[in-house]
Structure 1
Amino acid sequence: MPLVPTGELVERAAAERAAVAAFNVITLEHIEAVVAGAESAGASVVLQVSENAVKFRQGRLLPLARAAVAAAEHAAVPVALHLDHVQSDDLLHQAADAGFSSVMYDAARLPYDRNLAATRAAADWAHGQGLWIEAELGQVGGKAGQPALDAHAPGARTDPAEARAYIADSGVDALAVAIGSTHAMTTRTATLDHGLLERLSSTLDVPLVLHGSSGVPDDELAAAVAGGIAKVNVGTALNIAMTDAIRAFLADHPDAVDSRTYLKAGREAMARAVTGIITTLARRRPA
């Protein structure tokens, strides 16, 4: 079926107190696995291409984007395409023509005033192109001379009042919040601040996003959805599933040289991981 808008999926999930899973893809095998896993779960899904993935693909956005669009067109479930953690304005401006319906603009590296100005400009441009835009806020600096904290720095937490002002001033459509998860975790040991999530959910009037979800245990993820998270980003979990499966296959088949054999094992493992994560989110355990 045709691509569906990310905003449509996320806003519907937020209204239903549910969450849509969004998976970062790097290779064609990632794309195929995410679609297959979502089909197995019977759920809509978001394919995400990060700026780092574009850098890995030799700075070219279109090859991976076109593969994602083609996979979505043949999918049996709704699929959206999202450009993730964009810092480059040049890359941002490629989004609409490449088939993306949404972007996450990442200006967290900048001092707050410059962050806000850059994000406001990105939001104005994105809305002019019909794109839905997500941003991220960790902790605004300036208190007692302290610098801002990135959303995934140890101890970073999103302040509800600061977040409300940031959303109003930037014009973004969704906000990724810092409540205890961290990017690139390889163990599922993160503990989320559900009390803070409750305050954010009751204060903010845009859908909330959880980044770094690979390190969050199942019960914590289910509670986060019940608490108001409407989009759950996952990346490292797929890479772990793929790498572990390929390692195991090559250990069992030390003479294997046909990459299709071990890539198939990796793709199948990622698909199972996708199905498992989507199933966990659907549990929506009361907080």
Structure 2
Amino acid sequence: MPLVSTSELIITARARNTAVMAFNVITVEHAEAIAAGAEAAGTPAVLQISENAVKFHGGRLAPIAAATASVARASPARLALHLDHVESVDLLHAASAHDFTSVMFDASKLPYGDNVKATAKAAHWAHERGLWLEAELGRVGGKAGDAHTPGVRTDPAEAAAYVAGTGVDALAVAVGSTHAMTERTATLDHALIAALRAAVPVPLVLHGSSGVPDAELRGAVAAGMTKINVGTALNTAFTGAVRAFLEAHPSTVDPRKYLVPAREAMAGTVARFLQNVRTR
């Protein structure tokens, strides 16, 4: 099936008061697992490649982007391709040449005024090329150099001003989730999500959703979240399956032997998120 645009999925979901789930791609197996999970759940999804994943691939975007897009096109599921957590302007500018329909431009480490200036420039560039642009306000936490402060939250009035000043199409907000959580123990501020939904005219995005229980995610969608990002949960499934296989078969040298259960574990994780959060 041809790739669909992130904006099409997001706009439709917001109009229905549902959400779209976006899953991080690191390897080709991740992309295949996300497609398989979406097919099993009968639900659209977004495959997203982060700047950190591009760095893992030697700083070369083209190979992993081409492989991910090819996997998505071969799937009967409705899938979109998104470039995530981009801090490099050069990487942002590479997006339009590699099948991406959306980018998350991350200037959240900058002081507020500098964040607004950099993001407004990025949004203008993206919109001239038909790209949908997401940005972040309020440190989500869990990344090197980030705040890691549980109490950090996005202020609704500041969020409204930020969207007006930048022209972004979606806003990732800090409401209690944290990147890189391996246990699903996070509690979200649903009242704040509702306040942000009322204050901000663009869709809201939840980063760090791997550590959020299903009931909390369903509550977040009901309160106004439209895009739900999941990454670490796939890596936990992948690594657990590889570790279990190699412990049981320590003489194995053919990576296909352990990558098959790893891919299947990730596909199951994707399908469970899509089914349990009930984003349709």
Check whether TM > 0.5: yes
Q: Report the equivalent of 2:102.
A: 102
Q: Report the equivalent of 1:179.
A: 175
Aligned length in residues:
275
Separation (CA, whole Å) in 1 of partners of 2:129 and 2:34:
27
Contact 2:175–2:188 at 8 Å: present in 1 too?
A: yes
Separation (CA, whole Å) in 1 of partners of 2:148 and 2:230:
14
2:71 is matched by which residue type in structure 1? A
Q: Report the equivalent of 1:226.
A: 222
Deviations 1:218-245 (A, max 9, x none): 1101111111111000000000000001
Separation (CA, whole Å) in 1 of partners of 2:199 and 2:161:
11
2:153 aligned to which of 147, 157, 160: 157
| SS across alignment from 2:49 | strand
Deviations 1:87-118 (A, max 9, x none): 00000000010110000000011111111000
Alpha-carbon shift at residue 151 of structure 1 (Å): 7.6
Paired residues for 1:93-172 under 5 Å: 93-138=93-138, 153-172=149-168
TM-score (norm 2): 0.96
Q: Report the equivalent of 1:55.
A: 55
2:207 aligned to which of 202, 205, 211: 211
Separation (CA, whole Å) in 2 of partners of 1:165 and 1:116:
10
Contact 1:179–1:193 at 8 Å: present in 2 too?
A: yes
Alpha-carbon shift at residue 60 of structure 1 (Å): 0.2
Identity %: 61
TM-score (norm 1): 0.94
Contact 2:137–2:174 at 8 Å: present in 1 too?
A: yes
**Alpha carbons of 1:5 and 1:283: their partners in 2 closer, same or farther (altered >3 Å)?**
closer
Which segment is superposed worse, 116-125 or 6-15?
A: 6-15
Contact 2:20–2:279 at 8 Å: present in 1 too?
A: no
| SS across alignment from 1:93 | helix
1:84 aligned to 2:84? yes
Q: Report the equivalent of 2:31.
A: 31
Contact 2:108–2:136 at 8 Å: present in 1 too?
A: yes
Q: Report the equivalent of 2:142.
A: none
Contact 2:19–2:279 at 8 Å: present in 1 too?
A: no
**Alpha carbons of 1:74 and 1:83: their partners in 2 closer, same or farther (altered >3 Å)?**
same
Contact 1:213–1:234 at 8 Å: present in 2 too?
A: yes
- Segments of structure 2 that go 5 or more residues without pairing to the other structure are 140-144
Contact 1:151–1:158 at 8 Å: present in 2 too?
A: no
2:2 is matched by which residue type in structure 1? P
Which segment is superposed worse, 202-211 or 119-128?
A: 202-211
Separation (CA, whole Å) in 2 of partners of 1:152 and 1:205:
28
Which segment is superposed worse, 71-80 or 149-158?
A: 149-158
Q: Report the equivalent of 1:245.
A: 241
Q: Report the equivalent of 1:188.
A: 184
Q: Report the equivalent of 1:145.
A: none
Separation (CA, whole Å) in 2 of partners of 1:165 and 1:151:
22
Query: Post-superposition, which runs of at least 4 consecutive aligned residues in structure 1 deviate over 2 A?
Result: 149-154
Q: Report the equivalent of 1:46.
A: 46
Contact 1:108–1:150 at 8 Å: present in 2 too?
A: no
| SS across alignment from 2:278 | helix
| SS across alignment from 1:85 | strand
- Segments of structure 1 that go 5 or more residues without pairing to the other structure are 140-148
Alpha-carbon shift at residue 205 of structure 1 (Å): 1.1
2:220 is matched by which residue type in structure 1? A
Deviations 1:40-91 (A, max 9, x none): 0001110000000000000000111001111111111111000000000000
